[in-house]
Structure 1
Amino acid sequence: MRWSWQEWIVAVFRILWLICFVLLSYQDRPSFPFTVVFISVLVCYSIPLFIDRIHYRWYLLAEVFLVGGISLLFAHQYELVRLFLPAVFTISFYSRGRSHAVTLPLALVMFCLGGRGAFHWTIEDVFQNLVDASFVYGIGFGLQMAFRSIDRIKQKLELIKKQYQTLEQYSTQVEQMTLLEERYRMARELHDSIGHTFTSIILGMETLRPYISSEEGTERLQSVLQLGRTGLEDIRKQVHQMDPMEEDPSLDLSLLNIINEFKKNTAIRVVFRTMGEPLPVIKQSKLTLYRCLQELLTNASRHGHANSIQVLLHYDHNQIILQVQDNGKGSDEIKFGFGLSGMKERLSSLQGKLYLHSKEGEGTIVTCSIPLLQDTDVSNPEIKVLLVDDQLLIRDSLGLLLKNEPDFRIQTAEDGNVAVDQCASDPPDVVLMDVHMPQMDGITATKLIKESWPNIRVIMITTFDDISYATKSLALGAEGYVLKSIDPRELANTIRLVHHGGTMITQEVASTLFQQMTGTMKNPYGLTERELEILHCLTEGHRYKAIASKVHLSEGTVRNYISTIYSKMQVQSRDEAIEKAKTELLTDY
């Protein structure tokens, strides 16, 4: 075992003290054999320092018998008194806890036997020896406590540094994700506005065709239409360059970038492996796995205190699996806080699953799986899609955007009544249903369709992410709820996903639904933000006075708040409130 810097200081100080003592003693009384005494003392004083690395008791025996023996011998033979004093200092430094009850009297006795007064034994000399030895012993003990305090401070600083690195890494990733999402939102909005504008121009020009009689006019109109379609495609390409997920189409590289950034900021060993042949992954799945990995790496570092993490990305023929395993402290009982609940919600929206296995002292394994769909399904090459919207422009725009999909056959309906009639005459596979329509709205039409033809899959598509409509439509059996601003490729993949038995809720709607659900779940007693803050202080063990100081209220006001908290939670005491808060995760924020 290597010596610490404190032990090196004590060892060097002990040897220098001994050398100075022998040299000064020889200068005063040059009658003793210097070489024999110097080498003997140096050897006897050095051996215990090395034995201390093996066992403390052996060190103490070496100090008593080797150093104490040579000190007594030279004190009585050459009158080299006080030779045991450096040993008193180091015995005090190396002793811990209750051992001082033995080493202190032992060191005092040994020094008195070899110190001044050993030949005459006067009370004054013995008393002086006790005072000197006690003083030196106290210096050694004080130095020990000072060094231990320095070690504790260094450990705390190291812990703070690691936590700061983790926090910095987490905040950096949050900032990056926020920027990515903002770019994604801007790309969708630009695509929506520009795409609809160009589509309107193209469709408007198409309506002029019957009014142009000359062949030259028809050719020029066709040329302008072609130019408009080309411009629309060029603008779509430019807009997609703003899409953050388009910058790196590979899921492997996206996850590897997170891992490299995490390793850089935390110095935690992370091993990343992939299995299977990489397959194209829809953007929703990629973003979900991206955030799951971000959350799992942070949890392994911050909560699990892991120093090694293994990440496996497995491409199966029908699903993609992300597995994260760490060597942290683990836990026999894992409680789903906001992070894990959010992961589970994201995965569930894509028909994915979340599996956890953790054991105390053995780390944690978390597995996320999402089903994969190819762009086409050879067993059913054609999907009949019914577009239901009261606005002609929207129907034509969506039809124009989806018409290039080889496995889609598009039909349209202008309101809910027509949609129900078409389902009766020529049932589609998937219905894209607008919410707000005259005659019969999308909610009513969905209810009728699901009651009469439960096998028809319905996706609500609307401009507004109204949670009440989303809840109603999903309760009626709709398999999806997306916004009209969704990327056309995402919309196509969503239709395929729903057609194959999956469900889809866009990230915006899912986040709002989840926040609404977790808000109710996390606060079933209707506690205010201030009451939750005070309840959190109670769970941390703070008393009324400390809580009042922390939340900047008077102690009487805090007592009133706590009485209200007890009443709302239907508890009678502080212990009951704390137990209920921890059991129901009321303060897990």
Structure 2
Amino acid sequence: MLDMVKQWFWYDWIMLGLRLIISVSLVLTTIKFQEGLVLSLWIVIFWEIAAFSIPWVCLLLNYKYYLFTEILLFGGLCIHLTSLFPEAFPSFLASAFLIAANSAHRSYHWTAPAVVLVIPGIFYVVSPDNSYWFMVTYYGFAYVMGFAFHLLIVNHRQNETIRKQNAVLEQYMSQIERITLAEERNRLSRELHDTVGHAYTSIIMGMEALRSELATETGIQRLDSLLELGRKSIEEVRGYLHQMESPQQSISLVQSLQKLGDEFQEHARIEVSLRAFGDEYQLSRQAKMAFIRCLQESLTNAVRHGQATKITVSLQFGQQDTRLEVHDNGRGMEEWQEGFGMNAMKERAMNLQGQVSVYTKPGDGTLVTCSLPRQAEMEDDLIQLLIVDDQPFIRESLRVLLDKYQDLNVVGSAEDGKQAVDLCGRLQPHVVLMDLDMPRMNGAEATKMIKQQWPHIRVLIFTTFQDAEHALDLLRSGADGFLLKSSEPLELADTIRLIHRGGTLIDRGMSHKIFEKLDKSVQSTQLKIANDYDLTHREIEILQLFAKGLRYRTIASKLYLSDGTVRNYASSAYIKLGVRNKEEAVQKALEIGIIVS
């Protein structure tokens, strides 16, 4: 109840003050004229206190409870006092004003006649000295003033709602702008890395190869000059790539989340508090962005759907995982509905071997938890690596990059798949970093042979292009992960550690394409089976909702159909499947593959 009072606006305090003034005045007047009372003074005072407090408490719960208690308790008190003192009938004027101010929807249909016509009629019966039409005019005017005050309240609430929604939209647009800029930076970085950087490296390596063919001193000097220019240019390109990093990538995760929470609090006028537990350790760019996107989506949902006023964010750096919890004090939901943003959050976490869970209940707010496993360096477990790529400078670059990590050891390199298979037999590496497009034997064939002969050797496909068709074949052949060559060194190192521990990781863009392809394959199979049983799309949809445990009424609401229409569709599906009830229909649909569990 205290939380409700904290959310009051100026009009709530005006109505409470008016009730308080009227009640105190009534108590003082009763004490002054106690000789004319029929009941005991303390009984009347207790009645007056109850008539003040009970309707006020009911108003905090539901306006309909308030209307009934106000008319019965305060109206009954005024009728009793008017029967004793005919001049006491104006004491109900403030209640008439408050009843009109707190009525809503169809309640006006009965509160207006009760206050304007019925109550004055009862006053006239118990005290004929007062003019009925005079009292009707009085109470009618008070009710009209209360209705005008109600319109003022509604207008203020709508303006406040619009203001909050605009603030949330502005914050959301700001987030979208930052996301767009970050994605564009990443895209340009990859393009420059894969085109300009590749071209410069190839030119430098080509000129180095020409050194032995130059005979004159002048030619050698010119070659040295060109090599120096090429190396200087590629260093400049690397500098540009570093400058294009998002500002969020250059600061710690705690600072990024704190900045995001402060900005949201400033724009949306919602209290956001952040607490961090444990010693912060370095995370990959993918992990940082996953936590940032998770917090952005959770903050927006808390205000837009949950109407929260306070959000608590907890970030815990554990030995095994990093956990982000976002808890709001919103209204919660009976049944959680996952939208595009939540699905994107879960996909990001899944790509990093993590998970996102949501707990929500009406009155308890919503708790969103994002947990990602910690990719720590294993100094006591040296990972033996084999690099397979047909480009010499790429093999050498990867060796230099990976040798910086104490737990990674490059034990060999191969220029094609055939040589990779031979080296796996001799060196028995823990992880093979495999390119795809190579002469003699490509990466797909080599992966299949390696996994057949040495299943314990982990194979990480390190490629340039996103080919979903090829990726599915490689998964079937036993590949343990996919990563693009444009990935940062820290991401590559973390991925190698994850693959070595038995995990699987697929690049986000590639996994999205793979899932789309799998969805199309499953839909095609389901469509063929549905055609065999002559089931319609709507009947299959209802069977899928049955499998989730939803009832007829819930399904009707979800599909915007009547309860009877849903039952008709269900009955038609029962007949086509040859079953008698919902349980048998779900079981049969699972068995034949129309729906999946």
Say whether the fold is shared (TM-score over 0.5).
yes
8 Å CA contact 1:88, 1:133 repeated in 2: no
1:136-535 → structure 2 map (5 Å cutoff): 136-212=138-214, 225=227, 228-244=230-246, 248-331=250-333, 334=336, 336-374=338-376, 376-381=377-382, 383-389=384-390, 391-392=391-392, 394-395=394-395, 398=398, 407-409=408-410, 411-515=412-516
Cα gap change, 1:515 to 1:179, in 2 (>3 Å): farther
Letter aligned with residue 451 of structure 2: K
Letter aligned with residue 60 of structure 1: G
Alpha-carbon distance in 2 for matches of 1:249, 1:106: 69
Query: Where does residue 24 of structure 1 map in the other structure?
Result: none
Cα gap change, 1:494 to 1:230, in 2 (>3 Å): farther
Alpha-carbon distance in 1 for matches of 2:269, 2:393: 55
Cα gap change, 1:90 to 1:303, in 2 (>3 Å): closer
Deviates more, 1:89-98 or 1:480-489: 89-98
Alpha-carbon distance in 1 for matches of 2:231, 2:519: 46
Alpha-carbon distance in 1 for matches of 2:404, 2:11: 73
Q: Residues 502-559 of structure 1: CA distance to partner in whole angstroms, max 9, x if unpaired?
A: 332223213333455667889976999xxx9xxxx98578689xxxxxxxxxxxxxxx
Q: Secondary structure at the match of 1:304?
A: coil
Alpha-carbon distance in 1 for matches of 2:173, 2:294: 16
How far the C-alpha of 1:241 sits from its partner, in A, is 1.0
Does residue 108 (structure 1) correspond to residue 121 (structure 2)? The answer is yes
How far the C-alpha of 1:182 sits from its partner, in A, is 0.7
Alpha-carbon distance in 2 for matches of 1:217, 1:441: 39
Query: Where does residue 53 of structure 2 map in the other structure?
Result: 54
Alpha-carbon distance in 1 for matches of 2:472, 2:73: 75
8 Å CA contact 1:308, 1:326 repeated in 2: yes
Alpha-carbon distance in 1 for matches of 2:310, 2:292: 20
8 Å CA contact 1:88, 1:136 repeated in 2: no
8 Å CA contact 2:79, 2:126 repeated in 1: no
Cα gap change, 1:516 to 1:360, in 2 (>3 Å): farther
8 Å CA contact 2:383, 2:431 repeated in 1: no
Query: Where does residue 93 of structure 1 map in the other structure?
Result: 97
8 Å CA contact 1:88, 1:107 repeated in 2: no
TM-score by length of 2: 0.70
Q: Secondary structure at the match of 1:339?
A: helix
Greater fraction helix? 2
Cα gap change, 1:3 to 1:112, in 2 (>3 Å): farther
8 Å CA contact 2:388, 2:417 repeated in 1: no
Query: Where does residue 33 of structure 1 map in the other structure?
Result: none
How far the C-alpha of 1:187 sits from its partner, in A, is 1.6
Q: Secondary structure at the match of 1:207?
A: helix
Alpha-carbon distance in 1 for matches of 2:466, 2:273: 40
Cα gap change, 1:522 to 1:359, in 2 (>3 Å): farther
Q: Which runs of 5+ in 2 are unaligned?
A: 23-31, 34-44, 55-69, 531-535, 542-554, 576-581, 587-597
How far the C-alpha of 1:309 sits from its partner, in A, is 1.8
8 Å CA contact 1:328, 1:362 repeated in 2: yes
8 Å CA contact 2:120, 2:132 repeated in 1: no
Letter aligned with residue 285 of structure 1: A
Alpha-carbon distance in 1 for matches of 2:307, 2:271: 12
8 Å CA contact 2:388, 2:414 repeated in 1: yes
8 Å CA contact 2:116, 2:140 repeated in 1: no
Q: Which runs of 5+ in 1 are unaligned?
A: 15-38, 41-46, 73-82, 119-125, 545-561, 581-589
8 Å CA contact 1:6, 1:147 repeated in 2: no
How far the C-alpha of 1:54 sits from its partner, in A, is 3.2
TM-score by length of 1: 0.70
8 Å CA contact 1:285, 1:350 repeated in 2: yes
Letter aligned with residue 330 of structure 2: G
How far the C-alpha of 1:71 sits from its partner, in A, is 4.6
Cα gap change, 1:4 to 1:309, in 2 (>3 Å): closer
Query: Where does residue 533 of structure 2 map in the other structure?
Result: none
Letter aligned with residue 423 of structure 2: Q
How far the C-alpha of 1:479 sits from its partner, in A, is 1.8
8 Å CA contact 1:385, 1:409 repeated in 2: yes
How far the C-alpha of 1:223 sits from its partner, in A, is 7.2
Cα gap change, 1:518 to 1:131, in 2 (>3 Å): farther
Letter aligned with residue 379 of structure 2: V
Alpha-carbon distance in 2 for matches of 1:335, 1:7: 38
How far the C-alpha of 1:283 sits from its partner, in A, is 0.9
Percent of residue pairs bearing the same amino acid type: 36
How far the C-alpha of 1:402 sits from its partner, in A, is 5.0
How many residues align? The count is 503
How far the C-alpha of 1:245 sits from its partner, in A, is 5.4
Q: Secondary structure at the match of 1:178?
A: helix
Letter aligned with residue 512 of structure 2: S
Alpha-carbon distance in 1 for matches of 2:303, 2:82: 49
How far the C-alpha of 1:293 sits from its partner, in A, is 1.5
Deviates more, 1:145-154 or 1:262-271: 145-154
Letter aligned with residue 110 of structure 1: F
Query: Where does residue 26 of structure 1 map in the other structure?
Result: none
Letter aligned with residue 54 of structure 1: S
Alpha-carbon distance in 2 for matches of 1:110, 1:496: 85
How far the C-alpha of 1:220 sits from its partner, in A, is 7.7
